[in-house]
Amino acid sequence: MKNHLLPRLLFTALCAMGLPVLAQQASPNVVWIDAMNLTEVEQGWGQVHAGKSVDGHPITLNNVVYAHGIGTHADGNIVITLHGAATRFSATVGVDDEATKEGSVVFTVLVDGKERVKTPVLKRGDTQVISIDVTGAKQLTLQLDDAGDGINNDHGDWADAKLELAPGARQKPEIVTTPATPPRYVHQAESEVPQIHGARIIGATPGRDFLFRIPATGKGPLSYGAANLPSGLKLNPATGIISGALKAAGTTRVILSARGPKGRATRELTIVGGEHKLALTPPMGWNSWNVWAGAVDEDKVKAAADEMISTGLAAHGYSYINIDDTWEAGRDDKGNILTNKKFPDMARLSGYIHKKGLRFGIYSSPGPQTCAGYTASYEHEDQDAASYAAWGVDYLKYDWCSYGRIAKDDHSLPALMKPYQVMGASLNKVNRDIVYSLCQYGMGEVWKWGADPSIGGNAWRTTGDIVDNWHSLRGIIESQAGHEVYAGPGHWNDPDMLMVGIVGFGKTHPTHLKPNEQILHISMWSLLAAPILIGCDMTKMDQFTLDLLANDETIDINQDPLGKAASRVVKDGNREVWARPLFDGTKAVGLVNMDNEPQKITVKWADLGLKAPQAVRDLWLHKNLGTINGSYTVEVPAHGCVLLKVKGVGRK
């Protein structure tokens, strides 16, 4: 969901045009909010700016320009510690004039946790003045919400936002910051003894291209084996790449092996041949948007594929290399989609990726244009699906974007389903297996119908776009409770791509998520059985990022063949317990702390439906904790997660 913003003149030009500019004189008893440290301000898109709109222009509400204020984007959250020093908070709020008519927001002000002001839904042209007494208060919270219709163009301004101080106040108010405490994890050196990782089950359609790279680690060189391969498939023992095409439907249990100087490993892989048997575990790989956005090109995609191999992430089960938006360049005289100069030959790029045993993904929209304004698939679905198949595409992300102009004001379920039904039918016509990912932000409770046979979705976005801050991460996690009943093998809830490592949508920077927030991020995506699509610059991953992504104990949870996503079994304020059953009869359990301070969290075996004493293992410390009766209590870092695996004593 990328925003299309109207062109803006510079601040001085606005003055010259005669637009009123509101500039108030500073006072020693006034603290402007835009003078505070804004680095901890969290919002659903973009970066907050002091004295400017979210897009970096002068703050303008209903044609009035304000010299002071903060331009934010829904959903946003500003928490200010007052130290009892302030007497009044005031601001003029509304949707900045730069937004389109789609923008609609609600402003809420809380004082010491109690709601004091909540505006009606405001759209462009609407403003409201807020002025409240905060004498003696300890905390002020300024919230910007999306009014329940998504965050597109929700550019909310806190114009002239300021605090008046009590005479003689010793401490000035300040925006709350959460300390970046050391991450609760232990680096685990990779064993030289061979081990096989990743998915334990894979599906494909008979007669169509099959590709699977055996994910194995250990001191090399490794040689690979695959006993009992079904007819039509062959293994390259030097690379571990299984290719070919299944000759018949059915289920085959294959014994994979990897041998090296330090030993040999084996693992069972179930291969399922049949119609609609794709994505039997959540897809794992890389997508270009969260790091490169419109700056993506062929060289960056090839570099990601190279790094997937050289960093060893492919050896842990990652396989997709997906191009997001901005590869398109109109159509030829027959209506066939063209690629732009950044991607001169998609079939050649696909072949480069496939040669490594990896899979190739692409992006489009059901509307006339993609989110970034490039050519999309409206009324050319059959042609585009045929082009994707000819190029060797294995994954399609299909983003709602401009289809809103086609649907107009029709938000009925048939209208929401229609564009995905159309492309689903087109994909069914081609002789290639293409994983179908619906990107439409959870509209119409897509988790209830995305897997409908008329659509055939393999994954569907359940939320708006993720950004690399705590407010975004927490909001997405909290919104997932209850969706788990709609997920399973072949159809997964997708809470969006990962925000660890170097990210930034073309303006790259280290993620703003703190280390323990990143651990929570990976833990929850594993518990939720979500697609694991890396969103960072693969060429610049530090050891911590690699440790997060290559933790085989979390990957095993995500790729568990039972395919049962976690449910939230306990919510006690900011303390939560999430759990999911695994194929071997054990349970994965996440103890989640949403608080700004460390919290002791207890998981009771009874809450998990367990009775016997449980053997407990900590999956980030890589440590067995022993056999524990009744319950387990542990201190969880602020914004953190302790991820456990528990099994009854006596289980194998």
pLDDT in tens, 178-222: 667 899 999 999 999 999 999 999 999 999 999 999 999 999 999
Answer with the residue of higher pLDDT: 23 or 489: 489
18 and 165 share one domain: yes
pTM: 0.86
CATH number, domain at 78? 2.60.120.1060
Q: Is residue 556 in some structural domain?
A: no
Q: Is 572 a catalytic residue?
A: no
Say which residue the tokens 């938000």 belong to: 411
Residue 566 to residue 118: CA distance in whole angstroms: 34
Mean pLDDT, range 284-302, rounded to an integer: 98
Tokens linked to 573: 């304020």
210 and 246 share one domain: yes
Mean pLDDT, range 33-48, rounded to an integer: 82
Note the Cα 314 to chain centre separation in Å: 20
**Candidate list 325, 399, 433, 618, residue with the active-site label:** 399
Summarize pLDDT for 504-525 with one digit per residue, the tens: 999 999 999 999 999 999 999 9
Q: Is residue 16 in some structural domain?
A: yes
Element (H, E) at 304: helix 298-310
Residue 221 to residue 228: CA distance in whole angstroms: 23
| Half-sphere exposure at residue 373, Cβ-oriented, CA atoms within 13 angstroms | 4
Q: What is the domain count for the chain?
A: 4
CATH number, domain at 593? 2.60.40.1180
| Res. 11 pLDDT band, cuts 50 70 90 | very low
Across 33-64, b (16+ Cβ under 10 Å) vs e yields: bbebebebbbbbbbbbbbbbbbbebbbbbeeb
Q: Is residue 500 in some structural domain?
A: no
Q: Is residue 517 in some structural domain?
A: no
| Res. 409 pLDDT band, cuts 50 70 90 | confident
User: Mean pLDDT of all residues in the chain?
Assistant: 93
pLDDT at 180: 73
Residue 591 to residue 493: CA distance in whole angstroms: 21
Say which residue the tokens 């790259």 belong to: 508
In the chain, the N- to C-terminal Cα span, in Å, equals: 46
Q: What domain range is 316 assigned to?
A: 284-467+481-494
**Candidate list 324, 465, 560, 618, residue with the active-site label:** 465
207 and 147 share one domain: no
240 and 299 share one domain: no
312 and 405 share one domain: yes
pLDDT at 100: 77
Q: Is 399 a catalytic residue?
A: yes
Q: Closest Cα partner for 292 from 283, 282, 304?
A: 304
